């Protein structure tokens, strides 16, 4: 086959590209048609296999269920600099050497119990000394208590005016911390866990005894407990969501026509998605997966995609011809719908597959994406197999004129005329008074009727379009404003139950104890000439702006007070070992210096000191800034050092949280361009799809920021899902618009809305209604999930029904060439008719 280039015609490579698109699209349609025929001929098989898989893996899930116990592994970066720094600090200064040190000297939180005692407003906590001491003694007298380190801190301090020594006049709160010595032993760790449980029970008991004080307690396991508490609180609400989605799907699939109404198909479609999720969960737990609360979003994510396929198949069934056998109708529906659904499912697998790749540095995101890939794959399989079989049986009932609800034979019109009105209403198919072979008997579906008779005319009205343009400008302005305010303010508290003790404790601590940063360990890991004045100046410069707890400063002060000169190595180390470290007030510095001995000569190979920074109310942000400033200095300065605090392991996550969703979204958009390039006839279809998805993604991101949603692992996953959800709904609409051959763009967009508007509205409505119960779960995690998914559904609905129908009417692609082709064909027919009239004038007379 060859193509000749005509003058003014496109280049040959364009023709080849169009041919390739046509061949690939028709090949996929042919495959889907054969798949539909296969399902329609063997419905029992395709119904049984998914059911057996669900029963098998569902029961296995119950036996292998295991929750994730390591919160750090989930939300902290898998490969972070802080973990490397912790390993180095632990190797230099092992934990079991620090037997007389406070927690601020250690490298890991370990086991601990904390309590904040808060006095009433306007009161002074220092006047409640007896209550504080009673609480303290009760903790020390606890059964199975271990040796503990004790640290305390005043909060809400008011100093005496004009006091030179900063005397405290009053304080609002006091924080007492009890650190347990476990040394990593499994037995001692179990004892420590038991001690923490008893500690929390004791604090609740003491709160009842001391009503004049408020007690806020926290233990090392509190974050993990309150993180998993979300799943317990959300169980009943998820079931309510399922009931709401089932109800919405059933009602939206119903019609007055008892023959063509499909309420059970809507119900079975949602149940199909549910059993696919159960099967995916079984596979996850069988492969040694551990459950965590972030996986709570998978049912909502999978439901949003699965029900879209269900409603599209129902719409595809309605578009088929009624005079065809039901098996051919199923095959035609598959050919019409499954090509686009295959594309969108593939995109889900690719985007979430990238999230599950080793390049993802956050374990919670990786585990979620792995589960989502399995869920989408099973979702696709269950839609074309299990739900397809249900569609076959429903089509057979319709062809044999059985009632869609009662499954009984619909009586004849003569029989109905003799029955009461209520019986006629329940048993009438709605078309017995008209021709049975009506062009589109499904036009009486209430959503389709509303779109065709009312909404399509209104949204394409010339007087409505300026208001839509203004609305989009407002939408874009708020989105852009929100995108400019994105910051890495994420906090692990956003993943906890909102009424949990951990959140209450963190709120009070942020309010009254945010003046200082955590104690930062400053580790010098290479030999250093501490006696050199230049080195001493470099150390002072690095520690400037901090409150330092340093053996170096104490030693320099000791030398100055004692009038001892130590300007060389031997004198410096000799006085340090023989005099300074033997004094009782300085003996605790022994664990901060590592000596090595080569013959008779000693060397300092490593040492550590501690820094505390003054902070404001936004403590976390300032600590991150301090960390980002100190780390580059360790590479540029002559002094080789690392800085570490156990909280740095989590803070590394915040710097990455902004970049991960942007990269995933960018790769996703490129993949959309590649995947749809050969499947869309007009190149501008690609352009509109990319533009629409980008607008929705940026809108959700900007509005999410304005709604005070921080960038944590849940919001990251929602942004990835937004990309796919937008394509899921915009692609069929744009695909139909581009292929439409009507005279004007307005007529083409009306056809697109008539074909896909019902399925889009059904799916988004069910999706948004299913989110409502999340509002009543007292958890920050579910609040974030609700906000992000609400914005995702709302922005997608806005684009599909408001923005795209208007913008496509006055932007390319043009439909003039279709109009010219039809005019040419009409002119050719008129010329043929004139020739016939001239040859047969009698024919004109008879006419």
Q: CB burial class (10 A; 0-12, 13-18, 19+) of residue 622?
A: middle
Q: What is the DSSP letter of 814?
A: P
Query: Are residues 530 and 563 located together in one domain of the fold?
Result: yes
Residue 325, both tokens: 């056998």
Q: Is residue 378 part of a domain?
A: yes
d(CA 136, CA 130): 10
Query: Are residues 457 and 523 located together in one domain of the fold?
Result: no
Q: What pLDDT shows up at residue 132? A: 83
Structure confidence at residue 826 as a pLDDT band (50, 70, 90): low
| Domain of residue 337, CATH code | 1.20.1640
Check pLDDT > 50 for residue 501: yes
End-to-end CA distance of the chain: 47
Give percent helix, percent strand, percent coil of the chain, each to the nearest 5.
65, 10, 25
Q: What pLDDT shows up at residue 98? A: 46
Q: What average pLDDT does the segment 564-587 reach?
A: 86
d(CA 494, CA 718): 15
For the chain, give the percent of residues with pLDDT over 70.
Answer: 83
Among the candidates 588, 611, 644, a domain finishes at: 644
Domain count, the chain: 4
Whose structure tokens read 């993180």? 227
Query: Are residues 713 and 814 located together in one domain of the fold?
Result: yes
Structure confidence at residue 521 as a pLDDT band (50, 70, 90): confident
> Among residues 657, 771, 698, which one has the least CA distance to residue 364?
657
Q: What pLDDT shows up at residue 843? A: 41
Whose structure tokens read 């501690």? 610
Residue 63 or residue 393, greater confidence: 393
Query: Are residues 750 and 675 located together in one domain of the fold?
Result: yes
CB 82 within 8 A of CB 90: no
Q: Is residue 235 part of a domain?
A: no
CB neighbours of residue 256 within 10 Å = 13
d(CA 803, CA 692): 9
Query: Are residues 286 and 415 located together in one domain of the fold?
Result: yes
Range of the domain at 172: 103-225
Digit-coded pLDDT (tens) for 673-706: 666 665 555 677 778 888 899 899 999 999 999 9
**Least reliable range by pLDDT among 7-11, 154-158, 231-235, 713-717:** 7-11
d(CA 69, CA 189): 14
Q: Is residue 500 part of a domain?
A: no
Q: Is residue 1 part of a domain?
A: no
Q: Is residue 80 part of a domain?
A: no
Q: Is residue 82 part of a domain?
A: no
Query: Are residues 596 and 671 located together in one domain of the fold?
Result: no
Query: Are residues 426 and 461 located together in one domain of the fold?
Result: no
Q: What pLDDT shows up at residue 835? A: 45
Check pLDDT > 60 for residue 839: no
Q: What pLDDT shows up at residue 726? A: 93
Q: What pLDDT shows up at residue 686? A: 78
Q: What is the Cα gyration radius of the chain?
A: 36
Q: What pLDDT shows up at residue 643? A: 86
Check pLDDT > 50 for residue 47: yes
> Among residues 664, 752, 728, 770, which one has the least CA distance to residue 379?
728
Structure confidence at residue 145 as a pLDDT band (50, 70, 90): very low
Q: Is residue 507 part of a domain?
A: no
* Alpha helices per DSSP H over 544-593: 551-562, 569-578
For the chain, give the percent of residues with pLDDT over 90.
Answer: 27
How many CA atoms, within 13 angstroms, populate the side-chain half-sphere of residue 619?
A: 18
Q: Is residue 582 part of a domain?
A: yes
Query: Are residues 319 and 388 located together in one domain of the fold?
Result: yes
Among the candidates 584, 612, 644, a domain finishes at: 644
| Domain of residue 157, CATH code | 3.30.70.1320
Q: Order of strands across the sheet with 112-118?
A: 148-155, 173-180, 112-118, 214-219
How many CA atoms, within 13 angstroms, populate the side-chain half-sphere of residue 441?
A: 22
Query: Are residues 788 and 814 located together in one domain of the fold?
Result: yes
Query: Are residues 477 and 616 located together in one domain of the fold?
Result: no
Provide CB contacts within 8 A for 663, sequence distance 6+.
Answer: none
Q: What pLDDT shows up at residue 419? A: 72
Query: Are residues 717 and 828 located together in one domain of the fold?
Result: yes
Residue 725, both tokens: 């959800």
Residue 450, both tokens: 């509303």
Q: What is the DSSP letter of 119?
A: P
Among the candidates 181, 207, 225, a domain finishes at: 225
DSSP letters of 82-96?
A: HHHHHHHHHHHS-GG
d(CA 261, CA 398): 9
Structure confidence at residue 152 as a pLDDT band (50, 70, 90): low
Phi, psi of 66 (to 5 degrees): -150, 125
d(CA 695, CA 688): 10
Check pLDDT > 70 for residue 814: no
Query: Are residues 176 and 261 located together in one domain of the fold?
Result: no
How many CA atoms, within 13 angstroms, populate the side-chain half-sphere of residue 536?
A: 14
**Least reliable range by pLDDT among 231-245, 270-284, 530-544, 827-841:** 827-841
Digit-coded pLDDT (tens) for 303-352: 999 999 999 999 999 888 888 899 999 999 999 899 889 988 988 988 88
What Cα–Cα distance (Å) separates residue 138 from each residue in 24, 120, 143, 656?
76, 22, 10, 43
Whose structure tokens read 């025929």? 37
């Amino acid at each position: 086959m060859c193509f000749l280039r005509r003058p003014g015609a496109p280049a040959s490579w364009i023709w080849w590209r169009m041919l390739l698109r046509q061949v690939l699209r028709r090949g996929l349609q042919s495959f889907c048609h054969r798949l539909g025929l296969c399902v329609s001929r063997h419905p029992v098989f395709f119904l049984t296999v998914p059911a057996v898989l669900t029963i098998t893996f569902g029961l296995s899930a119950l036996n292998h269920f295991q929750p994730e116990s390591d919160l750090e592994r989930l939300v902290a970066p898998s490969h972070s600099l802080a973990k490397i720094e912790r390993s180095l600090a632990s190797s230099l200064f092992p934990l079991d050497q620090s037997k007389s040190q406070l927690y601020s000297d250690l490298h890991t939180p370990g086991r601990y119990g904390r309590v904040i005692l808060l006095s009433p407003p306007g009161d002074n906590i220092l006047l409640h000394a007896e209550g504080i001491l009673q609480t303290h003694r009760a903790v020390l007298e606890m059964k199975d208590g271990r040796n503990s380190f004790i640290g305390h801190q005043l909060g809400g301090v008011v100093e005496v005016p004009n006091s030179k020594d900063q005397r405290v006049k009053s304080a609002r709160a006091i924080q007492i911390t009890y650190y347990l010595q476990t040394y990593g032993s499994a037995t001692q760790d179990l004892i420590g866990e038991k001690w923490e449980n008893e500690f929390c029970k004791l604090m609740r008991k003491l709160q009842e005894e001391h009503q004049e004080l408020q007690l806020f307690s926290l233990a090392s396991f509190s974050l993990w407990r309150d993180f998993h508490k979300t799943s317990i609180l959300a169980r009943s609400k998820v079931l309510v969501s399922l009931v709401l989605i089932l109800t919405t799907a059933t009602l939206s699939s119903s019609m007055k026509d008892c023959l063509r109404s499909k309420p059970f198909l809507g119900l079975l479609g949602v149940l199909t998605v549910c059993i696919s999720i159960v099967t995916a969960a079984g596979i996850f737990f069988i492969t040694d997966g551990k459950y965590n609360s972030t996986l709570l979003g998978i049912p909502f994510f999978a439901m949003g995609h699965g029900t879209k396929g269900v409603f599209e198949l129902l719409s595809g069934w309605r578009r088929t011809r009624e005079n065809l056998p039901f098996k051919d109708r199923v095959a035609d529906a598959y050919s019409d719908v499954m090509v686009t659904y295959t594309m969108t499912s593939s995109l889900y697998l690719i985007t979430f597959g990238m999230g599950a790749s080793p390049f993802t540095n956050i374990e919670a995101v990786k585990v979620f994406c792995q589960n989502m890939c399995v869920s989408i794959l099973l979702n696709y399989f269950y839609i074309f197999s299990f739900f397809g079989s249900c569609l076959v049986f429903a089509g057979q009932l319709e062809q044999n004129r059985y009632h869609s609800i009662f499954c009984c034979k619909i009586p004849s019109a003569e029989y109905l005329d003799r029955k009461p009105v209520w019986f006629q209403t329940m048993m009438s198919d709605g078309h017995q008074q008209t021709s049975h072979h009506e062009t589109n008997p499904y036009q009486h579906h209430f959503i389709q009727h509303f779109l065709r008779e009312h909404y399509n005319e209104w949204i394409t009205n010339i007087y409505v379009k300026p208001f839509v343009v203004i609305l989009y400008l407002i939408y874009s302005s708020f989105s852009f404003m929100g995108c400019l305010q994105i910051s890495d303010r994420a906090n692990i508290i956003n993943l906890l139950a909102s009424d949990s003790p951990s959140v209450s404790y963190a709120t009070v601590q942020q309010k009254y104890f945010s003046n200082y940063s955590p104690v930062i360990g400053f580790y010098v890991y290479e030999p250093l000439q501490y006696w050199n004045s230049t080195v001493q100046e470099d150390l002072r410069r690095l520690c400037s702006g901090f409150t330092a707890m340093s053996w170096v400063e104490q030693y320099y002060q000791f030398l100055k007070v004692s009038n001892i000169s130590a300007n060389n190595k031997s004198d410096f180390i000799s006085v340090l070992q023989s005099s300074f470290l033997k004094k009782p007030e300085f003996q605790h510095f022994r664990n901060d210096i590592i000596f090595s001995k080569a013959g008779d000569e000693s060397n300092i190979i490593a040492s550590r000191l501690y820094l505390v920074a003054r902070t404001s109310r936004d403590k976390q942000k300032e600590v991150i800034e301090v960390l980002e400033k100190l780390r580059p200095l360790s590479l540029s300065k002559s002094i080789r050092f690392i800085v570490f605090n156990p909280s740095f392991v989590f803070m590394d996550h915040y710097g990455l949280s902004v970049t991960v969703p942007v990269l995933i979204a960018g790769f996703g958009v490129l993949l959309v361009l590649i995947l749809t390039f050969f499947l869309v006839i007009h190149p501008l279809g690609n352009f509109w799809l990319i533009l629409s998805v980008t607008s929705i993604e940026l809108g959700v991101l900007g509005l999410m920021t304005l709604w005070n949603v921080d960038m944590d692992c849940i919001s990251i996953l929602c942004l990835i899902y937004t990309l796919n959800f937008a394509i899921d709904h915009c692609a069929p609409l744009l695909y139909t618009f581009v292929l439409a051959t009507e005279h004007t763009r307005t007529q083409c967009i009306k056809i697109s809305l008539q074909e896909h508007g019902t399925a889009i509205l059904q799916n988004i409505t069910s999706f948004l209604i299913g989110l409502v119960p999340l509002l009543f779960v007292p958890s920050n995690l579910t609040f974030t999930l609700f906000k992000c998914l609400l914005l995702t559904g709302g922005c997608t609905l806005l684009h599909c029904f408001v923005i795209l129908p208007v913008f496509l009417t006055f932007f390319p692609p043009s439909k003039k060439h279709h109009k010219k082709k039809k005019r040419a064909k009409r002119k050719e027919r008129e010329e043929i008719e004139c020739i016939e009239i001239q040859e047969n004038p009698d024919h004109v007379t008879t006419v």
